[in-house]
Amino acid sequence: MKLGVFTVLFGQYPLEQALDKVQEAGLQAVELGTGGYPGNTHCNPRVLLDNPQELTRLKEAVAARGLAISALSCHGNPLHPNADIAGQHHDDFVHTVRLAEELGVDTVVTFSGCPGDSEQARYPSWATCAWPPDFQEVLDWQWSEKVLPYWQEQSVMCRQYGVRVAIEAHPGFVVYNTETALRLRAEAGSNIGVNFDPSHLFWQGMDPVECIKQLGSAIYHVHAKDTSIDKRNTALNGVLDVKPYNRELERSWIFRTIGYGHGLEEWQNLISTLTKVGYDGVISIEHEDSLMSVDEGFRKAARFLSQAVIGEKAGEMWWA
């Protein structure tokens, strides 16, 4: 496996400086944000597709540092009931797929999206209860009228460009766990797989190792991000927590740099299980730890991930 990073955490730096940081940390790959919620600071598909010189500059900047591009990521909601938002995120996705072909990148990461509860909706409606029966009706409508028609069409489009889609399971979207991820793949297209992010599974009380075994070859890309569970807050309120992320003491869980939610042995087991199911791609660091600066979180994640994948000694080579 190769180790990489989702470069949106270095969005305050120019492209070359961000890539220098990745190289200096001893990593081998970058995941570039191309739109949606992460934005496209370092990689704007519309600009690059219309400007061969800028496209060449990006390729050369990555290659000159001995790096590879693991994926292009445009996490958005193309099913949003607000047509302007849905249209923008859909366009981001299509341009990202086209750019992926130009760059020779075979994986695009995004969210499944979440529609509203009807054609008259203004906001997404995430249904997670079996009762009252209204929720079942909403789910049936969303999947039959919005989710499957959209992703079946995108699956066909992506095949034309030789690109596969890695859907990141995330609460708030219709694909948020193993079952929903595999349903979308089975009903929309076999080139639709998973961007495996354990932090979203820890948060929901799932076991990432068992999820890996179930998903198997559907895993196209992997994020390295952790979650810390507050036992007292969870005991009082469960894991369905809508408090803002900056109220860390009051929340049932918060995102953490890997190693600060679960220990080395658990991450080693997770990575070993990825190997068992045949995954040999990139593990991409994603930083959303509100208790650490970007640089601190990135350095600690890179060191920890090196230890988990290739051993303590290799992790110390650049850290010392």
Q: What is the pLDDT along the chain (320 residues), one digit of tens a residue?
A: 999 999 999 999 999 999 999 999 999 999 999 999 999 999 999 999 999 999 999 999 999 999 999 999 999 999 999 999 999 999 999 999 999 999 999 999 999 999 999 999 999 999 999 999 999 999 999 999 999 999 999 999 999 999 999 999 999 999 999 999 999 999 999 999 999 999 999 999 999 999 999 999 999 999 999 999 999 999 999 999 999 999 999 999 999 999 999 999 999 999 999 999 999 999 999 999 999 999 999 999 999 999 999 764 333 433 33
We find that the CATH architecture of domain 2-319 is Alpha-Beta Barrel (3.20)
Q: How far apart are the first and last CA of the chain?
A: 23
pLDDT of residue 179: 98
Whether the bond between 132 and the residue before it is cis, its omega within 30 degrees of 0, is yes
Torsion of CA 94, 99, 104, 105, to 10 degrees: -60
pLDDT of residue 310: 74
Q: Could you say which DSSP state residue 39 is in? A: B
Q: Which one-letter amino acid corresponds to residue 162?
A: G
Do the beta carbons of residue 3 and residue 30 sit within 8 Å? no
β-strand partners of 5: 30, 285
Question: How many Å apart are CA 94 and CA 157, to the nearest integer?
Answer: 9
